A and B are shown apart, each in its own frame.
Chain A
Amino acid sequence: QVQLVESGGGLVKPGGSLRLSCAASGFTFSDYYMSWIRQAPGKGLEWVSYISSSGSTIYYADSVKGRFTISRDNAKNSLYLQMNSLRAEDTAVYYCARAHSSGYYYHDYWGQGTLVTVSS
């Protein structure tokens, strides 16, 4: 069965960095786009970034552009999010999600999320 397991969250000071990972299993990882989506405490969902199956196409939300970098290692079935220059407003649960991008666009599987807290 499809599984997505995020890791790497934690407490970090403003201006600091953190790298999130998402381990995928149960499907051919290299066939799918992948996304990072976050949810601040008590708030709605906010898309952060997505990456194409090969890694050649990448897009970011304006709120993280220039600070966050998405990447993937298809040999390791893993997705990453390097987060630099973190701000208090980046505090959120970060989900990785599998994306269907052929003819439609939607996220059919999500991880359980990893909490990132940015605070001094």
Chain B
Amino acid sequence: EIVLTQSPGTLSLSPGERATLSCRASQSVSSSYLAWYQQKPGQAPRLLIYGASSRATGIPDRFSGSGSGTDFTLTISRLEPEDFAVYYCQQYGSSPPGVTFGQGTRLEIK
């Protein structure tokens, strides 16, 4: 089973700053099967990025995804107050078949 490790666990930044979140896989992951989600307290997760780098419908262009193989990155170019939340990466694997999530990165206001 592929394990996704996100770092850092918590990231403290100020509005207007750039955020870089990492997701590392224990073995190679197809970029097509790597997604990122945002979750705010009391809410369901929201899809941000799919296919490692494609923004979901309605997602602002300050959010971008990149990476391949075992290393993936979510970048938020200029933090807005509403961006402070928990972010999860997710992969789908076929051997064994299933879905795994990273443990999450909490992005908090400094």
Contacts and interface: CB of A to CB of B under 8 A. Distances in A.
B104 A47 contact: no
Contacts, number: 65
Given A35-B99, A44-B103, A108 B88 contact: no
Contact of A104 (B1, B51, B88, B96): B51
Interface of B is mostly: strand
B101 A106 contact: no
A106 B88 contact: no
A103 interface: yes
B94 to A, nearest CB: 10
A104 B44 contact: no
Nearest to B54: A104
Contacts of B46: 110
Interface in A85-120: 95, 100-101, 103-108, 110-113
Contacts of A107: 35, 37, 45, 47, 90
Q: Which 6 A-B pairs have the closest CB atoms?
A: A105-B92, A47-B99, A106-B35, A110-B44, A106-B50, A45-B101
Interface of A: 35, 37, 44-47, 50, 59-62, 95, 100-101, 103-108, 110-113
A35 B39 CA distance: 18
B55 to A, nearest CB: 12
A59 B97 contact: yes
B28 interface: no
A106 B46 CA distance: 11
Interface residues of B, number: 27
B99 A111 contact: no
Nearest to B33: A105
Given A44-B101, A45-B101, A47-B101, 4 more contacts: A45-B39, A95-B44, A106-B51, A107-B90
A110 B106 CA distance: 20
Contacts of A45: 37, 39, 45, 88, 90, 101, 104
A60 B39 CA distance: 23
B32 interface: yes
A100 B90 CA distance: 13
Contacts of B88: 44-45
